[in-house]
Copies of this chain bind each other. A is one copy, B any other.
Amino acid sequence: MFKLKKTASSTKARLGTLSTDHGKIDTPIFMPVGTLGTVKAVKQDELIDKVKAQIILGNTYHLYLRPGCDIIENAGGLHSFINWDRPILTDSGGYQIFSLSDNRELTEEGAKFKSHLDGSKHMFTPENIVDIQRTLGSDIMMVLDECPPYPSSYEYAKESMELTHRWEKRGREAFLNTKPKYSHKQAQFGIVQGGTYEDLRIESSKYVTDLDFEGIAIGGLSVGEPTELMYEMTDLNTDYLPEDKPRYLMGVGKPENLLHAIARGIDMFDCVLPTRNARNGQIFTRNGYINIRNAKWKNHQKPLDPDFPTDLCQKYKMSYIHHLFRNNELLGLELASLHNLTFYLWLMDKVKERITNDTFHTWYKEKAEVLGTKI
């Protein structure tokens, strides 16, 4: 499903194409997160027409609890339920069980957990998480894993990784022994774990590669470790991953993180940050980020950046955007969410241009520094 088109000079940045029955995806790509089947505050047609999203993400844990697999199956799958005919990736719920559930219990069989909504008891296994994602009908499904916290002891990270490996083997078999429920094909990605320990990361890269998933994700990062350590682990991982499979760094991140991770060989990203931070008033721009709630914008009577193609940048004076946020008006959340996602996809386009004309290595560090600066 993946075609590597070009590898850049001096860095590990790559251009590629990921093919699904719902369309092609040009990598490097950022995937807006639609946890419950909606990218918060953004309409589906805006995701296509304005954000230029090529693929969005849904969360298996959340969708399994609400509305539940029966409702989505009755609707004809997740694409039909949410009226989205481009590619969808669903995660495996491993991260949510780690982050959302107070009471969880890991056994060899799988992960028992209590719903964060009503306390009801559930269990995810490597096998049923494949079945659930067959019902959702995502174009790309993720294998069940355990995401260890940071910091974890070497012993915990190793045991957790080994459990994840056994789950991944079972998950891959379950995938290969079952068929899609709808008329389109599905792919399955494995997940590399290993905490922040180099030998475990290398071992996991090799193990997951051997299971021959259609793509490979790097998990367990962006969970509180220093940014430099995240970059190091990513760099190490991609050294041991095959060239001909897409690489997906889960849950990352800020614009500058994306540039550094692309330089280290990553093709795919997802993160709630652009939409969540938009709702808190953080706006990403080509010259750094701002907080629109700051009083400096109260009487700022010009648009933010008339040359950047979003309504927030072109159509309104900053005094108005500030006013919307100060009064918790929904329009502020809508404009900011739409802007930040458009910015992320715009950044991926710039990256592709830079890799295409082979100037990525001379550009990305400086650009990352600019993007990470508060203005």
Which chain A residues have a beta carbon within 8 Å of chain B's beta carbons?
Answer: 36-38, 40-45, 66-67, 70-71, 74-76, 80-83, 298-299, 301, 311, 315-317, 319-320, 322-324, 326-327, 329-331, 333-335
A sample of 25 inter-chain contacts (CB < 8 A) reads: A36-B327, A37-B320, A37-B323, A38-B324, A38-B330, A40-B329, A40-B330, A40-B331, A42-B331, A43-B311, A43-B335, A44-B315, A66-B327, A67-B322, A67-B323, A70-B299, A71-B298, A75-B301, A75-B317, A75-B320, A80-B317, A81-B319, A83-B316, A330-B330, A330-B333
Q: A38-B324, A301-B75, A316-B83 are in contact. Are A334 and B43 (CB under 8 A)?
A: yes
Q: A330-B330, A330-B334, A333-B330 are in contact. Are A71 and B41 (CB under 8 A)?
A: no
Q: Are B36 and A329 in contact (CB under 8 A)?
A: yes
Q: Which residues of B contact A67 (CB under 8 A)?
A: 298, 319, 322-323, 326
Q: Which residues of B contact A76 (CB under 8 A)?
A: 301
Copies of this polypeptide in the complex: 2
Q: How far is the CA of A339 from the CA of B163 in the complex (A)?
A: 50
Q: Which residues of B contact A66 (CB under 8 A)?
A: 323, 326-327
Q: How far is the CA of A44 from the CA of B335 in the complex (A)?
A: 11
CB distance from A78 to the nearest CB of B (A): 10
Q: Are A36 and B330 in contact (CB under 8 A)?
A: no
A41 nearest in chain B by CB position = B330
A63 nearest in chain B by CB position = B323
Q: Which residues of B contact A82 (CB under 8 A)?
A: 316, 320
CB distance from A86 to the nearest CB of B (A): 15
Q: Which residues of B contact A330 (CB under 8 A)?
A: 38, 40-41, 330, 333-334
Q: Which residues of B contact A331 (CB under 8 A)?
A: 38, 40-43
Q: How far is the CA of A41 from the CA of B41 in the complex (A)?
A: 9
CB distance from A330 to the nearest CB of B (A): 4
Q: Are A317 and B40 in contact (CB under 8 A)?
A: no
A62 nearest in chain B by CB position = B327
Q: A83-B316, A329-B38 are in contact. Are A301 and B74 (CB under 8 A)?
A: yes
Q: Which residues of B contact A45 (CB under 8 A)?
A: 311
Q: Which residues of B contact A36 (CB under 8 A)?
A: 323-324, 327, 329
Q: How far is the CA of A71 from the CA of B317 in the complex (A)?
A: 11
A316 nearest in chain B by CB position = B83
The 7 closest A-B pairs by CB, nearest first: A41-B330, A38-B331, A67-B323, A38-B329, A36-B327, A83-B315, A83-B316
Q: How far is the CA of A311 from the CA of B82 in the complex (A)?
A: 12
Q: How far is the CA of A66 from the CA of B320 in the complex (A)?
A: 11
Q: A36-B329, A299-B71, A330-B334 are in contact. Are A320 and B81 (CB under 8 A)?
A: yes
CB distance from A249 to the nearest CB of B (A): 27
Most buried by B among A38, A42, A335: A38
CB distance from A273 to the nearest CB of B (A): 17
Q: How far is the CA of A83 from the CA of B311 in the complex (A)?
A: 11
Q: Which residues of B contact A38 (CB under 8 A)?
A: 324, 329-331
Q: Which residues of B contact A323 (CB under 8 A)?
A: 36-37, 66-67, 71, 81
19 more A-B contacts (CB under 8 A) besides A37-B323, A81-B319, A81-B320? Answer: A36-B323, A36-B324, A38-B324, A38-B331, A40-B329, A40-B331, A43-B334, A45-B311, A66-B327, A67-B323, A67-B326, A70-B299, A71-B299, A74-B301, A74-B319, A75-B317, A81-B317, A330-B330, A330-B334
